[in-house]
C-alpha cells in the first residue's frame, strides 16, 4: 500500500505518516523509485498510534509502549504501570485546569461588569 492509500484508509496526513516513521513508530519499504510501501497491517498500527496520541501520550512514550500494546506475548506489568503513570499525569493536568478555570471565573465575576 502506498502512502496515499494509507492516508485514505486512516485519515492521517502523509506528513504524519512520515513523522511516525522518523520516530520509529511505523515502518515502510521503499520501491526502486523511492516510494514508500506499507503492509496492510499499517492501517491498524496507524490507528493505534492516533489513539495513543489522542490519549495525550508523547511520541517517545508511544515508542516505548507500542511494542507491548501491539504484541500481547510481550506485555508485562511495566506496561500497566507506564499507562497508569500517564493517566495520573493527565489527571493532574485536569485538576490544574479546573483550578485555573475557577480563578478565572472568579476574576470575571469580580471585575467584569
Residue with cell 502506498: 2
- What is the overall mean pLDDT for the chain? 95
Overall number of domains in the chain:
2
Task: Name the region of 7 (left: φ>0; alpha: ψ -120 to 50; beta: rest).
Answer: alpha
- What CATH number does the domain containing 11 carry? 1.10.1660.10
- List, in order, residues 6 or more apart from 65 with CB less than 8 Å away: 52, 57, 79, 82, 83
Say whether both 86 and 52 belong to one domain. Answer: no
Say whether both 81 and 37 belong to one domain. Answer: no
pLDDT of residue 113: 75
Say whether both 4 and 22 belong to one domain. Answer: yes
pTM, two decimal places = 0.84
Say whether both 109 and 90 belong to one domain. Answer: yes
Q: What is the pLDDT of residues 33-88, one digit of tens each?
A: 999 999 999 999 999 999 999 999 999 999 999 999 988 898 999 999 999 999 99
Q: Residue 41 is part of which domain span?
A: 1-74
Amino acid at each position: 500500500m502506498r502512502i496515499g492509500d494509507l492516508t485514505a484508509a486512516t485519515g492521517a496526513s502523509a506528513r504524519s505518516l512520515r513523522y511516525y516513521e522518523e520516530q520509529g513508530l511505523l515502518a515502510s519499504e521503499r520501491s526502486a523509485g523511492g516510494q514508500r510501501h506499507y503492509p496492510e497491517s499499517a492501517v491498524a498500527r496507524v490507528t493505534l498510534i492516533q489513539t495513543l496520541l489522542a490519549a495525550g501520550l508523547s511520541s517517545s512514550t508511544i515508542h516505548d509502549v507500542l511494542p507491548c500494546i501491539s504484541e500481547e506475548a510481550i506485555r508485562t506489568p511495566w506496561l500497566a504501570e507506564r499507562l497508569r503513570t500517564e493517566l495520573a499525569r493527565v489527571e493532574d493536568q485536569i485538576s490544574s485546569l479546573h483550578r485555573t478555570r475557577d480563578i478565572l471565573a472568579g476574576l470575571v465575576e469580580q471585575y467584569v461588569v
